[in-house]
Structure 1
Amino acid sequence: MTCGPVQPPGGPEGVERLLTSAFEGLAAGVLLVDARGRILAANPRAEQLLGRRAAAMAGADAHDLLHRGPDGAVIPRSQCVLLAVAEHGRPAWGDSDTFLTGDGRALPVRWSAAPVVQAGRTTGLAVLFADMAGSSAPVGREAARVDLLEDLAEQLTLVSAITEVLSETLDVEEAVDRLGPLLVPKLADWVAVDLRTPEGEVRRVAVLGPQGRDTALEAWRGPLPPPTTLSRSALVRVLHGAQPVLLGPHEMAEPPDAPLAAVQAGFLRVLGATSAAVVPLTSAREITGAITAVRTRPDRPFTDRELALLADIGHRAGVAIDNARLFGEQRDIATAMQRHLLTELPQSRGLQLAARYRPAPAGSRVGGDWYDAFELGDGSTALVIGDVIGHDLRAAARMAQLRNLVRALAWDRHEAPAAIVERLDDAMTSLTDIPMATMILAYVEGPPDGPRQVRWSSAGHPPPLLLPTTGSPSDGRARYLEAGQGIILGAGGDPERPTGRQQLPAGSTLLLFTDGLVEVPGADLGAGLEELRRLAADLTRLPLEDFCDRILEAIPSGSTDDTALLAVRVPPD
């Protein structure tokens, strides 16, 4: 077994020469096809087998021109397995189809196709085929070349799938969970993933085998001994920046020279490892951990080429994990900022107030949602709910700017909500870099012993929900207040922003909320609003704090946004 750095034979130029030679000299036909199924290139053997010149096939639809069923009949495009490779990005093969030759014959072929992926997107496919009726099926060195190309295509597909899967999450644990099933059993019988913690410790966060997470091996997960710098252990050296390492029976039998080396040796022994590869999880900033891939069949040791592939996967996984950690740090800062800025609700005369804020689910981006409530000089209570456009730390900072502007304008000017929102729109455009935001500014007015009314103006925000104390969700009395709707802040101004007015009956509840409570990507917003209306109507008899808790629990699964809600209840007579 070899240890230490792995370099591709001949470097990138050598690989390119190998692929060019394989394409031109194979005893099997090769077609390169774009994502829409058009032929881009054909090697000499494909020209010979099909009786067609490559130049004549270029630009033609591969399915219409060539692909036929076992009896030579046309295959409907919707049932074409070959075309599905480009559509779904997964390899496919067949051994009972025919290709139509230039002289009209149906040529029985064995074919395999793999997607060609660039920047995470399938841009076409490579098709290898051989004549099953004659003697053109590759043998000997030519068969080895075909196997090499197919193996390279399969590895490229695996790397593409791993890149795509890891890029879809910003959660460290989820990234690890997604990585394992892609490596087992395609590249390894077992995989262990170790991560460095921000405190400098090392934890084994996953042990994955043929059945996924193996409960019998849970004892091997958890904190690991510190990686002593002087140890010869492959895992210790990789965690300290060494190149990927291959281990055979001889290397794994060496006596451990450090506590972490002893743990790793015991782990490999329990698995019955006959070959192992240890590669770092790397990013531009740091080494975030290591992957240990294990095989248990003596006749199938890891090769240098597979080690290079695992090293590439380790780098991609390391970048994804580092990105997830950076995102988590930013998200924690933004969430803390938001919670710090969310107002302690006033003790309003004759009103009950309650509010809730929930950050976006783990792995989602933080947003700029906020609520606010404060007493005005004339004794009315101002209510604010809003959402600054954007999903990052900047959105949270912008939310703080807008919140303070609203407070200052509302306190300084005893004007209608619509006038304040209009001034806010002008100030936001002139004094901040906030691109757009939605918001409702509402005033609850009237003496403590009633009657009460609410005046509000909405800048593109979901409407308030009014809930009387009596009635059921089916009688229509729980309803959204659609009046007072104006355009979003930052969209160019609204010279006549509207004001809505509504009496608040004794015992009624007014609910203001952000769209994270009702909106799920790809789902119908109207359905989400109706679901909230029915739920809130069912819960309106609960104490206000319990009411808010139950509403927040009902955030739809699949929601990726943060959520704020503010509830006001008028005491009953």
Structure 2
Amino acid sequence: MEHPDDVPAGVVDRLPVGVFALDGDETVVLWNRRAEQLTGWPPERVLGTRLAEPSLDAPTVARIADELRAGRPFAGRVPARGSGPTLYFRAVPVTMPGISVVGVLQDVDDTRAGDEAFALLDALWESAPVGLAYFDTALRYRRVNGAVLDIDGGTVDQRLGRTLEEVHGAVGATIADGLRAVLAGGRARASVPVRGRLWHGAGPPQEWRVSMYPVHAPDGRVIGCGAVIVDVTVAERTRRELARVAAQREHALNRYQSLIEATSAAVWVREVDGSARRDAPGLRAITGQSVAEMRGWGFLDAVHPQHRDAWRAAWEQAVTAETAEVFSLVYRLRTADGGYRWFRTRAVPVRTEGRVAQWVGTETDIDDAIRARDRLDLLARATLAMNSAVEPEGELGALADALVPDFADVCRVYLVDPPRARGGITGRRSVARTAPGLPESPMTDPRFVFAADHPIARCVRTAAPVLAAVPRIGEQDWQPTPQMARWGVGVDAHSVLVAPVLSGGVVVAALLFVGAGDRPPYTEDDLGLVGELGTRASAAVEKAIAFQQSRQVAVALQSAMLTEPPTAPGLEIQTRYLPAAAGLAVGGDWFDAFPLPGGDLAVGVGDVAGHDLPAAATMGQLRSMLRALADDARPPSAAVAALDRVATRLGVTRFTTLVHGHVVRGAGGTVFRWSNAGHPQPVLVSADGDPAFLAGDVGVVLGVAPGSARRDNEAVLPPGSTLLLYTDGLVERRRDPDDRANADLLALARAHAHRPLGEFCDHLVRDTAADTDDDIVVLAVRVS
């Protein structure tokens, strides 16, 4: 068993008298070896039992208990049961930690042992680590131990026979008042706090806890009183300092909380490990949780499931970091109404003596700001997506792709027929997008019919956006088909937005957005967003329609200008054209091959600055003029010079390059005569596959110096050779520090020279290293 710290256990166990002690519940907590010998009861039988439980005489036990409860000592003879000796019994109430009664047992015939026992008890009195003092009824010192002298100073002789007031002045009078109350009432007083200076105020400031108790004679008379004195000066100062620091921290926390609450943010306090023990009324007002639900890690239950794991991982990392810093996170939080809103949590560590004592954090509702920012992002993404498409329905499909699932769980585009007189709306569903994880709509028929009260019908009729709640089955409101209603219940659809798309002032399509599940219901702010989306979609559709019209014109122009090459005896001709503006399908580069009146073949390629429809129109004019001016009765240079003069005078072009020539077949072989106006030189690939650039004069481009002299060049085309004309889009590169473009073109021609002429041209266009996105034209003539 454990003994109190102020009782040396080994000494007590070897006393020649039985010693026992009781706690406040009259339970035996001390039973030494001699007590076991006198009674025959081992400690395991007695310890932990109450006073009345061992086998003592019942009336005697009752009398002992009454006296001790009254705070009076008891002494007398106690018969033990059986054949054991008659015991002398003495018990005294005391005030000690965990002990209320101390007593001795002694064989009535063993008086010598009693003298020895009390001599040892005197030794314990002197060695006790607490101050012990005994006073008579006049409250004069009768006995003190050494601990009193250590606590208060002075000597024994300066105390004995003197009163507390005589020794200690005002502080002594305070203690004396307490002792008088003990003598008058006969009841002990425990741990009375006393503060002051002893020795008439000459000592240092001190604090004590004084326990006072009456002392009784064997006949029950009060013959004095005792005091147990414990010096608590250091402990009390430490306690007050801790209380002061705690009060300061609590005050600072309350001020911080008041300040934050004034800004509408919810404040919480969490422990060092990140768990919640203190109530957070502001946070609970948001989430609707009870105190019990929030405690521990229960506050995480209100975090959106998609964010919960990341929130906890980030929070645990913050609280376990060696250097705790500010913690901040943006996430969705479930509110008391069951919906979710965006919040920013921000927490800082509160330190005491350099250590983190707790965390203080706030929750700020930023849902409106987040959704406003997201609306702008969505608007930008949707606009970019629509601008990248070139067809009306493609633009609307790109719009749906940009908005699902970030803005809507379902997006549908309905192309509407002209409204009927009775108010219903018909048309065709052209686009449908559904967020991942949701079942697809049961609608299979692309045609639709909506009654007059349907949101889409109202949108088409008013040409204005519409916000509506999804009705439940049986509600008196617009109703979807039964299949759609069941689908809406299954995905928990709750709100819809509809925006009109106009062309020429007429609604040609309707955009439908459906919100479902835990997505916040759409609001008037969202209505403004879809209205802007509808406006931008209308502009995109108008542009796409105009583009389609331009494209039709461009395609017609291309078909007219870039005709199939003619068939010429002994010659194979192949052409390829790849415009830079792929969507427009035409550009400013061209090729041409046509027979001349005398039987020669006119060939050429040209490059008009620009990659758009005006460039294509200029190309068409120049091509037509050159056809009119070309004649095998005069050299190619004459036609090029005439074209330069006419085109410049008419303002058709200011910068155009071209190669125009005649392929002449005669008895002596095939010859190529040409004139070059600032264009890349032709390439001749020999029959054995060795390519080389043709040497010759290169004149100025068209539109710069129309009076400049033009010269002709001539080269023999051996059988099996291939003449290659091309525009610079085949070789141009953004970066070519080593001037490798021409060499790479020859290498490419050499690698594929053995192929049929059509495949040869395909590989030139497909495998080129050019990267300027310029128009590419290739015209190849192979001599048989």
Task: State the TM-score, normalized to the length of structure 2.
Answer: 0.47
Name the structure 2 match of 1:303. 523
**C-alpha RMSD of matched pairs (Å):** 4.6
Q: What is the CA–CA distance in structure 2 between the aligned matches of 1:411 and 1:442, rounded to whole Å?
A: 10
Q: Aligned pair in 2 of structure 1 residues 26, 432: CA closer, same or farther (>3 Å)?
A: farther
Which of 205, 230, 249 is matched with 2:470 structurally? Answer: 249
Deviation of 1:518 after TM superposition, in Å, equals 5.1
- Which residue of structure 1 lines up, in the alignment, with residue 538 of structure 2? 318
Residue of structure 2 in register with 1:207 after alignment: 433
Q: CA deviation at 1:383?
A: 0.5
Q: Which of 425, 428, 439 is the matching residue for 2:658? A: 439
Change (3 A) 1:526 1:158: farther
**Equivalent position of 2:699 in the other structure:** 486
**In structure 2, what is the Cα distance between the partners aligned to 1:401 and 1:270?**
63
Q: Indicate yes or no: 2:724 matched with 1:511.
A: yes
Are 1:452 and 2:670 counterparts?
yes
User: 1:409 is matched with which residue?
Assistant: 629
Distance 1:149 1:347, change over 3 A: closer
Instruction: Describe the shift of the 1:455–1:194 C-alpha distance in structure 2 as closer, same or farther (beyond 3 A).
Output: farther
Q: Go from structure 1 to structure 2 and tell me whether the alpha carbon gap of 1:462 and 1:208 turns closer, same or farther (over 3 Å shift).
A: farther
Contact 1:204 1:220 in 2 (8 A): no
Tell me how far apart the structure 1 counterparts of residues 443 and 738 of structure 2 sit (CA, whole Å).
46
Name 2:685's counterpart in structure 1.
Answer: 467
Aligned residues of 2:442 and 2:483 also touching (Cα < 8 A): no
Q: Which residue of 1 aligns with 2:547?
A: 327
Cα distance in structure 2, aligned partners of 1:175 and 1:248: 27
Alpha-carbon distance, 1:296 to partner: 1.8
CA distance in 2, matches of 1:551, 1:492: 33
Q: 1:495 maps to which residue? A: 708
Q: TM-score, with normalisation over the residues of structure 1?
A: 0.62
Q: Distance in 2 between matches of 1:251 and 1:463?
A: 75
* 8 Å Cα contact 1:27-1:137 kept in structure 2: no
The residue identity in structure 2 corresponding to 1:429 is T
Residue from 457, 471, 494 that aligns with 1:274: 494
| Higher Rg | 2
SS of the aligned residue for 2:527 comes to helix
Residue 616 of structure 2, aligned match among 385, 396, 414: 396
SS in 1 for 2:493: coil
Q: How far did 1:363 drift?
A: 3.4
Alpha-carbon distance between aligned partners in 1 of 2:552 and 2:484, rounded to the nearest angstrom? 34
| Alpha-carbon shift at residue 309 of structure 1 (Å) | 0.9
Relative to structure 1, is the Cα distance of residues 288 and 262 closer, same or farther in structure 2, using a 3 angstrom cutoff? farther
Which 10-residue stretch deviates more, 167-176 or 514-523? 514-523
- 1:550 deviates by 5.2
User: Deviations for 1:224-260, whole angstroms, at most 9, x for unmatched residues?
Assistant: 21556x64322344345532222323178779999x9
> Contact 1:360–1:367 at 8 Å: present in 2 too?
yes
Cα distance per residue 1:279-337 (max 9 Å; x no partner): 22345654342322222215621112112112212322332233223212211221122
Q: State the 1:409 CA deviation.
A: 1.7
Given that residues 438 and 460 in structure 1 are in contact (C-alpha distance below 8 angstroms), is that contact kept between their aligned partners in structure 2?
Answer: yes
Report the 3-state secondary structure (helix = DSSP H, G, I; strand = E; otherwise coil) of the residue aligned with 1:281: strand
| Correspondence for 2:639 among 420, 438, 441 | 420
**2:632–2:662: 8 Å Cα contact kept in structure 1?**
no
Distance 1:569 1:503, change over 3 A: same
- 1:161 deviates by 3.4
Contact between 1:355 and 1:371, CA under 8 Å: does it hold in 2?
yes
- 1:442, 1:456 within 8 Å by CA — same for their partners in 2? yes
Secondary structure of the equivalent of 1:247?
strand
The alignment of Structure 1 onto Structure 2 pairs a total of residues equal to 438
- Match of 1:470, SS state, is coil
Match of 2:589 among 353, 357, 369: 369
Partner SS for 1:274: strand
User: Given that residues 345 and 362 in structure 2 are in contact (C-alpha distance below 8 angstroms), is that contact kept between their aligned partners in structure 1?
Assistant: no
1:242 is matched by which residue type in structure 2?
A
**480-489 or 394-403: bigger deviation:** 480-489
Please, which runs of 5 or more residues in structure 1 have no aligned partner? 1-24, 29-93, 96-106, 113-127, 472-476
Q: Which residue of 2 aligns with 1:565?
A: 778
Give the secondary structure class of the aligned counterpart of 1:491: coil
The answer (yes or no) to whether the contact 2:648–2:706 under 8 Å persists in 1 is no
303-312 or 366-375: bigger deviation: 366-375
The letter of the residue matching 1:202 is R
Judged with a 3 Å threshold, the aligned counterparts in structure 2 of structure 1 residues 166 and 241 are, in CA distance, closer, same or farther, namely same
Q: Which secondary structure state, in structure 2, belongs to the residue aligned with residue 466 of structure 1?
A: strand
- Tell me how far 1:492 sits from its aligned partner: 4.2
Alignment of 1:157-236 (within 5 A): 157-172=377-392, 175-176=395-396, 178-195=398-415, 202-210=428-436, 217=440, 224-225=446-447, 231-236=452-457
Aligned-partner Cα distance in 1 for 2:783–2:632? 26
Q: 1:340/1:271 Cα in 2 relative to 1: closer, same or farther (>3 Å)?
A: farther
Change (3 A) 1:400 1:251: farther
Cα distance in structure 1, aligned partners of 2:434 and 2:616: 39
Provide closer, same or farther for how the CA distance between residues 511 and 235 of structure 1 changes in structure 2, counting only shifts above 3 A. farther
Displacement after TM superposition at 1:556 (Å): 7.8
Q: Distance in 1 between matches of 2:578 and 2:427?
A: 31
Give how far 1:338 is off: 1.6
Once the two structures are superposed, what CA deviation does each residue of 1:191-226 show, in whole Å capped at 9, x if it has no partner?
23344699x963423424238xx9x749858x7215
The alpha-carbon distance between structure 1 residues 190 and 197, as it changes in their structure 2 partners (threshold 3 A), is same
Amino acid at match of 1:243: A
Within 5 A, what are the aligned runs for 1:2-401?
143-144=364-365, 147-172=367-392, 175-176=395-396, 178-195=398-415, 202-210=428-436, 217=440, 224-225=446-447, 231-239=452-460, 242-250=463-471, 268=488, 272-282=492-502, 286-297=506-517, 300-358=520-578, 362-363=582-583, 366-401=586-621
Instruction: Tell me if the contact between 2:472 and 2:485 (Cα under 8 Å) persists in the aligned partners.
Output: no
Q: Conserved in 1, the CA contact under 8 Å of 2:378 and 2:407?
A: no
Contact 1:279 1:292 (8 Å CA) reproduced: yes
Compute the displacement of 1:427 (Å). 1.0
Q: Which residue identity lines up with residue 669 of structure 2 in the other structure?
A: P
Paired position in structure 2 for 1:88: none
Kept after mapping to 2: 8 A contact 1:176/1:206: no
1:537 aligns with 2:750: yes
- Which 5+ residue runs of structure 2 have no aligned equivalent? 1-261, 266-313, 316-324, 331-343, 351-358, 419-425
One-letter amino acid of the structure 1 residue matched with residue 466 of structure 2: V
